[in-house]
Structure 1
Amino acid sequence: MEHIAYNQEVTALLAACDLPVVDLRVNGDVCFFGLRQEGDLLGVIGIEVHGDIGLLRSLAIPVAHRGKGLGQQLVAYAEEWAIRSGLKALYLLTTTAGELFKRLGYAELSRSQAPKAITETPQFAGLCPASSSFMFKELSASNS
């Protein structure tokens, strides 16, 4: 697992997984982490920091590598980083991975319960469809 820069390789993986990239840019506000094997990017996840909370986003794993626990590893690493960085909670929007996030301790919320910092993100404001599940998890050192 490694901290990775946002680049064309990450863009290609996110696009292949039908995840939005229009709001991402090099040296942007999203910290990315990735898993590599023999130089190939097997998965990526990002955290967009907003004060003491974060928007967990861009969890992407190529179809050929799904079902091997990589998503769980990426989420766990991102949560550990968030805790070390002083974040108190992570929020996310998903159309396809709600069950995974429930198994990892995330709870569904109504969009009306979203903190202002999250509602102002492009992800929340329009990039993710209104039908997306909105979820959150409180973080503490005991979560890691």
Structure 2
Amino acid sequence: MYKLSSGPVTYNLAVETLLQATQLSVEDLQDVDYQKFVQLFTLEQDDQIIGVVGIELHGDHALVRSLAVADSERGQGLGVLLLKHAEEAAHIQGIKELYLLTTTAVPFFSKLGYQVADRAMAPEAIAQSKQFAGICPSSATFMSKLLGQSIGQ
């Protein structure tokens, strides 16, 4: 049985291990001062973290980041479950629009309502985030989604 964290969890070694196993950056998450901007949500099975997603808060905008599912658990809709959970958490906190950067998952995010956007149109706070400004390559696709009544669709 899967257990989705009801609220943000503290960055920890299990989260770091999963992110590194899926080739996602952890360098800014290791920065204690930067962690205050990021809320992480986990998915567990048998007390093992098998999925994680984060939202990096910047005013009424947020960056979806660090979406990862363990290789052994992929193909079961768990990434969708995690993303919808993050969207709902963002919506509850008054976030109006979500953004993300991806090098490999444009079709996945497109199916869930995200649209490719021009990087030059990113809100200043998002553009200055560590993910946007340097961690993700400039070739990463920038995507956005307005949050409203149809969360997760």
Give the structure-1-normalised TM-score.
Answer: 0.95
What corresponds to 2:68 in structure 1? 60
How many angstroms apart in 2 are the aligned matches of 1:9 and 1:29? 20
Give the deviation of 1:97 after TM superposition: 1.2
Q: Which amino acid aligns with 2:38?
A: V
Letter in 1 for 2:23: D
Identity of aligned residues (%): 48
The question of 1:9 aligning with 2:14 is answered yes
**In 1: Cα distance, 2:104 partner to 2:64 partner:** 14
Matched, 1:22 2:19: no
**Hey, what does 2:53 align to over in structure 1?**
45
CA distance in 2, matches of 1:52, 1:111: 18
2:143 is matched with 135
Trace 1:33-112 onto structure 2 (pairs within 5 A). 33-112=41-120
**Aligned amino acid, residue 145 of structure 2:** K
Residue pair 1:36, 1:43 contacting (<8 A) in 2 also: yes
User: In structure 2, how many angstroms separate the alpha carbons of the residues matched to 1:28 and 1:13?
Assistant: 20
> For this pair of structures, how many residues does the alignment match?
144
Confirm or deny: 8 A CA contact 1:14 1:21 kept in the other structure.
Answer: yes
Q: What is the rounded CA distance, in whole Å, between the counterparts of 1:48 and 1:71 in structure 2? A: 18
Matched, 1:113 2:121: yes
User: Which TM-score applies when normalising by structure 2?
Assistant: 0.90
Unpaired segments ≥5 residues, structure 1: none
Superposition CA RMSD, Å: 1.1
